[in-house]
Each structure stands twice: as C-alpha cells, then as structure tokens.
Amino acid sequence: MVRTPLTAPTLDDLSGDPPPHLARLRDQAPVAWVPALNAYLVTSWAAAGEVLRDPVTFTVDDPRFSTARVVGPSMLSTDGAAHARHRDPFTAPFRAGSVTERFGDGVRRTVDACLDRMMAGGPPAELRSALAGPLAASTMTHALGLDGLDEIDGGTLLGWYRAIVESVSVTAAGCPVTAAGTSAMAELDVALRRHLGGATAGSVLSEAGEHGGLAPAEVVSNAAVIMFGGIETTEGMLLNAVWHLLRDPDQFAAVGEKPALAAAAVEESLRMEPAAAVVDRYATRDVAVAGTAIRAGAQVTVSLAGANRDPAEFPDPDRFDLHRPRRRRHLAFAAGPHVCIGMDLARLEVISAITSIVERFPRLRLAAGAESPTGLVFRKPQHLPVRWD
C-alpha cells in the first residue's frame, strides 16, 4: 500500500493554485494516494498517457463517475462497444477537416457581433459575459441544430450548462448531485425530446437521432455532454488564453504583430492551464503505474494540469512560451478513446476570437477585479474585466 505523501494536496490546494502542489507531489511520486480526493492522483505526463490510453484497465464505466450521475450514460461514461455506439453518431461533424467548413462562418459572425457590442459599450467590459459565454453558447446552439427554436436560445442554454457543470463539479468533490443540476437536465430533456424531430436538418443532433440508432434518452444525454463540454471547454480556453496573454503585454503585442501566433498562444495556454484540470478513471484490476500499486476498484484521477507541467516532457514548464517546441503534446483534451470530441471546434472558436481581439483591441489590458483561473475540475477566471484605449 502506498504511504500517504507528506505533501498530499488539499481540495483548496487543487482548486486555487495547484501547480506548485502538483510539482511537489510529482517529485515525490508521480502516482500517489491523495486522501482529499479519495483517489490516486496521476501527475506525470507519461503515467497520465498510460492511464488514459488503456480503457480496459482504467474505465469510466463506474457508478461513481460524476458526469454520468448528473446526465446519465453517454459517450463520456461508457467504454468498449457501448462507448463506440454512443460516440460514433456524433463524430463526423467534429472532425478537423469538417469544422472550419461547417462552423467557421458562424463563429466569425458571433465573434464580430460580440466585439462590436464591446466596442460600442466602451470600457471596461467583462469578457466572460461579453464574449466567451455567448460565443460558446451560440456555437453549441448551432451545432445541435437548435437555432430558431423559441424555447431554446443562447441564454437558456447557458443557464442549463452552468447548472450542470456546477453539479458535476460538486459531485466530483464528493457531494450529492445538486437540485439545480437535476432540474436543468430535466428541462433539457423535455426541450430536446420535443424538438428532436424539428432540429435543423443536417445538424449534429438530427443526424445522431435519425441515423445513429440512439434512443431519445441517449441522444439527450450525449447532447448534454456535448453542450456542457463544448461551452465549458471553449469558455475556459478563451478566458485562460486572454488571461495568460494580458499578464505579459509583450506576449499580447507579439500576437498582435504576428496573428499567426494566435494558434501557438492557444496551445501554450492549454498546456499551462487546461480548462478541464482532472479526469477520473477506475481501476478494473490490481495494477502498478509508475511504481505505485493500485488496487482493483480504486479511483484514479489524472491531473491534466500536472501532466502538462511535467518538466520531463516540457522543459521550464511554468514559463508561457509562444515558441515552445512540441507544445501540442499537452493532454488538455485528454487522450485515448475519450479524447475530446470537440477539440478542433474549440480551437477554431478560440483562435478566431484571439485573432480578432488582438486586431481590434491592440491596447487591451486587464482591469481592476480580474481574477486568476480557479476550480477543482473546470478552471478559468470567473470574472475577467478588461480595459482598452
């Protein structure tokens, strides 16, 4: 049995400023029992990849899996043939070769509209409410084919998403599913079932329902996963990227001078501060990882944030470097069969937003009240006010 490390982090450590705590833990044991999580925490890049790429030994199909407790069985909480049956109907629209053609124009229009409103309103502006949330919600509304449905607009979708994400977060911390999360899922279920047949032809939702062979309840649970994953990932990615760039005006100016660096900025921000900091797996057998014995049935929490700052893979890992080699080897979108289905769409949205921001607001800076990223599972600044000249 692994002895509890003296430097085992608390929930507050992992929610506030985790990098130094994760670094100390990694130095002591790249896989270690952390009582606060009631789980083995994986903090090295190599061990994280080993766990994520082995769904036979490390499964998501467990009653403790927090997302499944909130939304029901889905592509996120099944493995093997069941996972393929849930995921395959949604795969094609999110392939790298499809997202620009399918979503590019809509993303650019939404970014322009949000920035137009920011410009008209004048400084300061709060980026989460002015840009990151509306962009993510609008894109997901379009992707799921809910455009034009009177009962489901971007604001409604954002409300459901925030309740579901909060419920997943507190469940992951060992608390019961929230009443608000249960209510949001019930409302989403009613709305999507009512409009399943009327979803926009050719949308992700209509294609999965008509051709994917999934029952309505399964379409709803997977739509919920795509919805909260798509909104949360994009919102967090964008806010974290802007936060990193504005903390160092030289980096922000460099992207302004060479907009092609926007993609590099997004990848380096993903490495430094993944929007989803941890993912959970459950050992199906007794196994050893990085020299640590793990018993069958134990929860294994992979720290994507820890893996992404492993100096064995990323030298000088705490430095934000627009020219870092091999930066896309980060694990911000996980790896293996559960790698994020919408990662290329999220990249498209955030790169489009960053490119437009540096062009239209070359003197953008953080304003009073700007917060650093926080959160146990999902990490981002909760408020990011900005000013410009």
Secondary structure of 207-229 in HEC code, one letter for each residue: HHHHHCCCCHHHHHHHHHHHHHH
Q: Compute CA distances 356 → 131, 301, 362, whole Å.
A: 12, 37, 10
SS3 (DSSP) at 308: coil
What average pLDDT does range 68-83 have in this prediction?
92
Please name which of 127, 184, 43 lies closest in space to residue 357, comparing C-alpha atoms: 127
**Domains along the chain?**
11-363+370-387 (1.10.630.10)
The answer to which of 208-212, 256-260, 329-333 has the lowest mean pLDDT is: 208-212
Q: Helix-strand-coil percent breakdown of the chain, rounded to 5?
A: 55, 10, 35
Backbone angles phi, psi at 364, to 5 degrees: -65, 145
SS3 (DSSP) at 153: coil
- Structure-token match 């009582």, residue found: 35
Please name which of 224, 296, 229 lies closest in space to residue 59, comparing C-alpha atoms: 296
Contact call for residues 147 and 141 (beta carbons, < 8 A)? yes
Higher confidence at residue 197 or residue 115?
Answer: 115
The edge-to-edge listing of strands for the beta sheet with 365-366 is 125-126, 385-387, 365-366
* pTM (two decimals): 0.91
Contact call for residues 11 and 36 (beta carbons, < 8 A)? yes
* Residue 207, pLDDT above cutoff 60: yes
* Residue 152, pLDDT above cutoff 90: no
Phi-psi region for residue 326, left (φ > 0), alpha (ψ -120 to 50) or beta?
left
**Predicted pLDDT at 8:** 87
**Predicted pLDDT at 54:** 98
Q: Structure tokens of 344?
A: 């290329």
Please report, as a single letter, which amino acid is at residue 387: R
Burial class for 240, CB neighbours closer than 10 Å (0-12, 13-18, 19+)? buried
**Predicted pLDDT at 157:** 75
The answer for residues whose C-beta is within 8 angstroms of residue 282's C-beta and 6 or more apart is: 58, 59, 60, 61, 62, 64, 65, 297, 298, 299, 300
Q: Compute CA distances 122 → 112, 256, 262, whole Å.
A: 15, 21, 24
**Long-range own/partner contacts, residues 14-21 (CB < 8 A, 24 or more apart):** 14/277, 14/278, 14/376, 15/374, 15/375, 15/376, 16/374, 17/372, 18/277, 18/303, 18/305, 18/306, 19/305, 19/309, 19/318
How far apart are the C-alpha atoms of 235 and 238, rounded to whole Å?
A: 5
**Predicted pLDDT at 1:** 44
* Residue 209, pLDDT above cutoff 70: no
